[in-house]
């Protein structure tokens, strides 16, 4: 169960720390990694990291998706490290030098995860941003290209959608692959476009799953976590892990 817990990342997308802490208390038997995003961080500041750790979270994932010049990224990584963060996201589009500085600042302590492409961007957005040609028509190729940079500089892992995970895991087996947009079969997709079930995502090569609303909106979040464990187990068994 300990190992399975580490595979589930629960986003603490709540407006107050009080609410976030209640969810940590409730889910800590099932979830190993709690994710603090912009919503909570901007509202409550870095004390949220401390409080969530104190509440018993195994690991804290600070999802700030840093995108700035190398020196600024480096200083932000050092601060995150001093607050005891375990995982931190940096946009790969911030460039190779920013990623290298992030890794240098992390000194092998906290794990740096490269964000490939926001799943909210569609083809029209990418065209508007200046992406064209083949990269525009096959977003997997763009995600591959970005992952290649993350791999080359030594990032610990990347974040990508379920659509690309198989290609990425096959090409970069040692990178930690984090996949959001996880849905259980009978659910709606909400605003997620490229979704997969826990079973499908793990089978395709995901190492960690970001699961928010399927747990949060479930009539029984604990039962949903058990179901996710069952799916992860089934996929791992079929893969002979
Ligand atoms: O499972 P659910 O859709 O509720 O998860 C939402 C969470 O997933 C948010 O914290 C959001 O930041 C994160 N997410 C992400 N990358 C994406 C899409 C969503 O990290 N491409």
Q: Where are the domains of the chain?
A: 2-236
In angstroms, what is the span from residue 71 Cα to ligand 1's centroid? 27
157: left (phi over 0), alpha (psi -120 to 50) or beta: beta
For residue 70 and ligand 1, the question of a CB distance below 6 A is answered with: no
User: Is the distance from CB of 59 to CB of 35 less than 8 angstroms?
Assistant: no
Other Cβ atoms less than 10 A from the Cβ of 65: the count is 16
User: Is the distance from CB of 73 to CB of 94 less than 8 angstroms?
Assistant: yes
Query: pLDDT value at position 121?
Result: 85
Query: pLDDT value at position 3?
Result: 86
d(CA 223, CA 69): 44
Query: pLDDT value at position 238?
Result: 94
DSSP class of 177: E
Residues of the chain with pLDDT under 70: 1-2, 135, 137, 186-193, 241
Reply yes or no on domain 2-236 having CATH 3.40.50.1440. no
Closest residue to atom 6 of ligand 1, CA basis: 212
User: Is the distance from CB of 92 to CB of 98 less than 8 angstroms?
Assistant: no
65 classed as catalytic: yes
For residue 221 and ligand 1, the question of a CB distance below 6 A is answered with: no
In angstroms, what is the span from residue 117 Cα to ligand 1's centroid? 12
């Amino acid at each position: 169960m300990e190992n399975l817990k580490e595979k589930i990342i629960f986003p603490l997308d709540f407006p107050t720390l009080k609410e976030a802490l209640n969810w940590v208390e409730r889910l800590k038997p099932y979830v190993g990694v709690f994710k603090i995003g912009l919503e909570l961080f901007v509202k409550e500041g870095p004390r949220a990291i401390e409080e969530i750790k104190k509440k018993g979270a195994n690991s804290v994932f600070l999802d700030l998706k840093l995108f700035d010049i190398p020196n600024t990224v480096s200083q932000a990584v050092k601060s995150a490290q001093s607050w005891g963060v375990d995982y931190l996201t940096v946009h790969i589009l911030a460039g190779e030098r920013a990623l290298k500085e992030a890794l240098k600042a992390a000194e092998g302590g906290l794990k740096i995860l490269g964000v490939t492409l926001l799943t909210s961007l569609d083809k029209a957005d990418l065209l508007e941003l200046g992406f064209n040609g083949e990269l525009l028509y096959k977003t997997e190729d763009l995600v591959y290209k970005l992952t290649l940079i993350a791999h080359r500089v030594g990032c610990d892992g990347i974040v990508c959608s379920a659509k690309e995970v198989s290609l990425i895991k096959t090409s970069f087996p040692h990178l930690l692959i984090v996949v959001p947009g996880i849905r259980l079969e009978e659910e709606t997709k909400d605003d997620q476009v490229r979704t997969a079930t826990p079973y499908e995502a793990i089978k395709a090569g995901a190492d960690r799953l970001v699961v928010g609303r399927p747990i949060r909106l479930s009539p029984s979040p604990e039962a949903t976590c058990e179901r996710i464990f069952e799916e992860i187990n089934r996929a791992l068994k079929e893969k002979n892990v």
